[in-house]
Amino acid sequence: MTDFIPSFIAFLESSKYVLIFVGSYMEGPGVMVTTGVLWNLGIVDFLPALAALFLGDILSDIMWYTIGYHAGRPFIARYGHWFGVVPATIAKVERLFGTYQTRILSVSKLTMGFGMAIPLLVVAGMLRISFRRYVTINSLGGLVILPATMLVGYYFGNVFVVIPPDLKIVSAVGMALFFLLALRIINRKLSTLAL
């Protein structure tokens, strides 16, 4: 049992970029900010961490596009009425995406969707937006937003210098929860505005 902690720490150290990739693929913004904190603390290097974040983020975007492309319409046709999604709603969304697809995808990426990113990515696939265009827009947006979120984490990492060692983990968890709570509140406010 006493060997567990050192071997676990060695595992984390040796697979930190893989863990960043997996975290970026599954979660996104919280992992991006946390990676910036790790960069500040000297645990990760900027370029490999950015590459891991970018790869996880873009593959996640592709997954949601693919789900929308292959399963979006059948799902909406069968279950859409449960969510208030009727053919008129789909037609309106198609018109908006047809006219403003670049703006919608760019703003969604640069704002991390304010909680609406996944539905927008699925709708892009469902509406069969050009895959090349979709990947290009999301990649360019990722190259802007990923370093920006890492910088937020990097400068929040400076706070760790003044926090006593016993409280660093609690502080990190608290900051991550605060960040996620803020995103949820913004998402709810935007959802009520959209309705």
pLDDT value at residue 195: 43
Q: CA triplet 136, 139, 141: central angle to 5 degrees?
A: 105
> What is the pTM assigned to this prediction?
0.72
Confidence at residue 166, expressed as pLDDT on a 0 to 100 scale: 67
| Distance separating alpha carbons of residues 165 and 77, to the nearest angstrom | 55
- CA torsion sign, 109 to 110 to 115 to 116? negative
What is the C-alpha R_g of the chain? 19
Position 59 scores a pLDDT of: 94
In angstroms, the CA 51 to CA 17 distance is 9
Instruction: Taking each helix axis as running N to C, give the angle between helix 117-126 and helix 87-110, from 0 to 180 degrees, rounded to the nearest 10.
Output: 120
Residues 154, 35 contacting (CB under 8 angstroms): no
pLDDT, tens digit only, all 195 positions of the chain: 567 666 666 666 778 899 899 988 988 788 888 899 889 888 899 999 999 999 999 999 999 899 888 988 787 777 776 766 666 767 777 788 778 878 878 877 777 655 567 777 888 888 888 899 999 998 998 898 899 889 988 887 776 666 666 666 666 677 667 766 776 676 666 555 544
| pLDDT value of residue 62 | 93
Asked if 20 and 44 count as a contact pair (C-beta separation under 8 A), the reply is yes
Task: Please give the pLDDT value at position 84.
Answer: 64
Secondary structure of residue 91 in the 3-state scheme: helix
Give CA 111 to chain center in angstroms: 10
DSSP conformation letters of 14-83: HTHHHHHHHHHHHT-HHHHHHHHHHHHTTSS-HHHHHHHHHHHHHHHHHHHHHHIIIIIHHHHHHHGGGG
Report pLDDT for 152: 86
